[in-house]
Structures are given as structure tokens and as C-alpha cells.
Amino acid sequence: MADITAKGDPQLVAKDVQVNFANMDVKVHGSMLSWLYDLIFSIAKNTIKQQASTAIAAQVKQMLNVMVNQLLATLNLEVPVSAVAQVDMQFTAPPSFSGGFAQAWLKGQFENITAPQDAPVPHSPLPTNAPSMMIEADVDQFLFNSGFWFLFHGDMLSHTVTQADIPPEVGLQLTTKTFGALVPAMKAAYPNSNLEWGLVATQQPNAAITPDQGVLMTGSFNMTWLVQATPNATEFKPMFTLGLDMAATVNLAANGTNLTASVGLRSFHMTLLDSALGPFDTTTLTAFFNAIISSSLIPMANQRLKPGFPLPVVEGMSLRSPALTTNAGYFSLVSDVNFVPPPSVLAALDRHVALRQLQKVGVIHLGDSAKAAQGKAYVAIN
């Protein structure tokens, strides 16, 4: 039977293994006393069959409980994504088997590595129909929103952007001279001073999965413009604060055993919230940032996302013809699989050479009760 550990790792528990010898004969040749041995063995045949069945059943049970669980132990169900965060893919309930396919429910949550905590965000309903290929994985938008909850409530969505944060290939200098034409009042007050931007999320970002847009992510931030008022000043003072409302799309795809993504800018708006320089129009400033994001930052982000993130698969397994689709509230990954037993599994099998040889030469047949009608031995496993 399939089960899970207290931690949520999958495990196989072979509780009952039945071995049946429908027909068994023992003959002794080449001795003057062969007739006597045959007589003894004929009397003790049932005892020999029972002992042989018990011995083989014990070997099969041990092989399954050791070999299969060694294989399952290679599953990495807590996938680190940074120095402090991981995606928890532990099982939330034992797998179920019905209608010719198996179902398993996994947590699918971003959390702190050292102090994991459940995110109080809603799940989307997932399908329960049989998969169209060998495996199907359905992931609801809870996965992304648990990540946003983790970041927002962990005070990780705030940052002061300095010149060191600007990629050299963007070619943008954080000075009042660069942005003077867009905010004339700033140029008049500080003709050529260094700038910093203080960014902080004002609410928890949100992710919504849709069939036509992929993953739509929205967020709101405050952006405070800070200036180095004098060349030797060690502190930057605020000039004005803008409200940022932005939306981006994330398109997901499967590549081998990796989940890949590409992002696109859906919308970006700036609104003046307060200003020590007086009111000014943010239209040209908004257009400038839209151009920088679309022409430089988005392509750079997609280049970094191109390798993708590893999917949690059993050692030795690879996906064949994977396909990913987005639906209302969730995305689905379907695929056929190839499996090459890893060295750890082969080593476990080598400890049961006798059993393998019996199966190879046709003396026993694992799980094939039809062989009993042909006078062959078979092994039934529950």
C-alpha cells in the first residue's frame, strides 16, 4: 500500500506478499537410494512448498520495502529557491488509486527554510479526472500567492535602489541630471546630484492564473526619490514619493525536467503621492520607465529565467513530450515518462539475485495469478 511519513514523504509498505506454488515436484537421480529420497520428498513436498513460499515471500517483501523506498527517498520534496526560502512539495495525504490511475495531493507552498509557516491564502479547485498522458501535475495559483505572502509578511518587499543595483548594460545613471528633463523642479533644486530610490510594497502582490494570459501578477509599491543634497552628504533626503501600480504576465513552459518561464510587462503607472518640490505631471516619467522596463529589464529577466527550475522527479526519471497549459486558477503539466533505474536501485536488486534469477528463468511470475492455471508458481503482492 502507498502511505506517507509523518513529515509528508511518500513511502511504500508491502504488508502482505503471497507466493503460490500450484505444482512442485522434487526428483533425485544418480544414487542407489534415489527411490528412497523420492519417497521422503513426496511425503514432505507440502512442507517444502510452504517453506519455499514463505522464504520467497519474505524476499519479495524485503525487496519492495527496501528498493522502492530507496528510490522514493531520492525525491527532493523541499526545493530551495534562495538562501532563506524553499518550495514545500510534501504530501498532504496518502496517494489514492481508483479508475486505473493514482492521485497524490502535495502542499506546493513557498516558505521559510528555518521557520516554515502555512500561508493563509485560498486554494483554487483542481480537476480530478484521469490524466491524458502517463502523469499529470496540476498546480493552483496558491503556489505563487504563498510566495507573495512569505515575502510581504517577511518584510522582504522593500529595497533601496542605488547605482550599484543598476545593471551596467542598462546604461542608466542615478543622478538628477539624467531625470532633470522629466522632473524640471528637481533639476532646478539639484542640478547634478546623486539619487537613490526607496521601494516598498504597500500591499501583498497577487497572482491569478488564466487560460489566455498565463499567470497575471499585480502589485503596488511606493517609490521615494532620495537625493544627496551636497557632494559630501552621507544621508540622502526625500524629495517626493510616487505610487507605482504594475501588472506583469508570466508564461510557463516545460523543458525536459525543468519548468521554464518568460515575463512580459502588462501595465505600469506612476502617481504623485507627495512632493517637497511642489506638484508635477508624471506622464513623461511613466513613459520613460515603461521604455526602460520593456527594452532592457524584461529581456534581461527572461535571459536569466531561460534555464528554468528543476521539477521534483524520482532519480532516473525523465519526461517525454511534456506539455503545459494554463487554466482558470491553475496550470497543468502532462507528460509521458522514461525511467532508467539508478545505481542505488540496481544495488538493491543485486541483493536479491536469487529472486531475480527465479523470475528470469520462469520459475516464479510476479503478480501473475494466471500462471497458476498453467502449473507455475506466482507471487501476489498487496
pLDDT tens-digit series, residues 252-302: 988 877 889 999 999 999 999 999 999 999 999 999 999 999 999 999 999
Q: Which long-range contacts (CB under 8 A, 24 or more apart) does 5-10 make?
A: 7/90, 8/77, 8/90, 8/91, 8/92, 8/107, 9/72, 9/73, 9/75, 9/77, 9/90, 9/91, 10/72, 10/75, 10/91, 10/95, 10/104
CA separation (Å) from 377 to 59, 79, 224, 359?
15, 44, 79, 10
CA-angle at 360, arms to 359 and 363, nearest 5°? 50
What local confidence, expressed as pLDDT, does residue 36 receive? Answer: 55
Q: How far is CA 68 from the centre of its chain?
A: 21
Given a contact cutoff of 8 angstroms between Cβ atoms, the answer to whether 326 and 252 are in contact is yes
Q: Which residue has the cell 492455471?
A: 373
pLDDT digits (tens, 9 = 90+) for 42-97: 555 666 667 767 777 776 766 666 666 666 666 667 878 888 888 888 877 777 76
What local confidence, expressed as pLDDT, does residue 151 receive? Answer: 93
Helix (H) or strand (E) holding 273: strand 258-275
CATH superfamily for domain 89-333: Bactericidal permeability-increasing protein; domain 2 (3.15.20.10)
Rg of the Cα atoms in the chain: 32
Amino acid in the structure at residue 135: I
Whole-angstrom distance between the N-terminal and C-terminal Cα of the chain? 7
Establish how many alpha carbons lie within 13 A of residue 338's alpha carbon, considering only the half-sphere containing its beta carbon: 8
For residue 130 the three cell numbers come to 484521469
Given a contact cutoff of 8 angstroms between Cβ atoms, the answer to whether 65 and 14 are in contact is yes
Separation between Cα atoms, residue 194 and residue 177, nearest integer Å: 9
pTM for the complete prediction? 0.69
**Which residues of the chain carry a pLDDT beneath 50?**
353-355, 358, 361-382
Given a contact cutoff of 8 angstroms between Cβ atoms, the answer to whether 89 and 105 are in contact is no
Helix (H) or strand (E) holding 303: helix 298-305
What local confidence, expressed as pLDDT, does residue 80 receive? Answer: 85
What local confidence, expressed as pLDDT, does residue 158 receive? Answer: 96
Per-residue b or e along 263-302, where b marks 16 or more CB atoms closer than 10 Å to that residue's CB: beeeebebebeebebeebebeebbebbbebeeebebeebe
Beta-bridge partner residues of 345: none
Q: Which residue has the cell 526619490?
A: 225
* Nearest Cα to Cα of residue 24 among 52, 51, 49: 49
Give domain limits for the chain. Answer: 2-73+343-381, 89-333
What local confidence, expressed as pLDDT, does residue 81 receive? Answer: 83
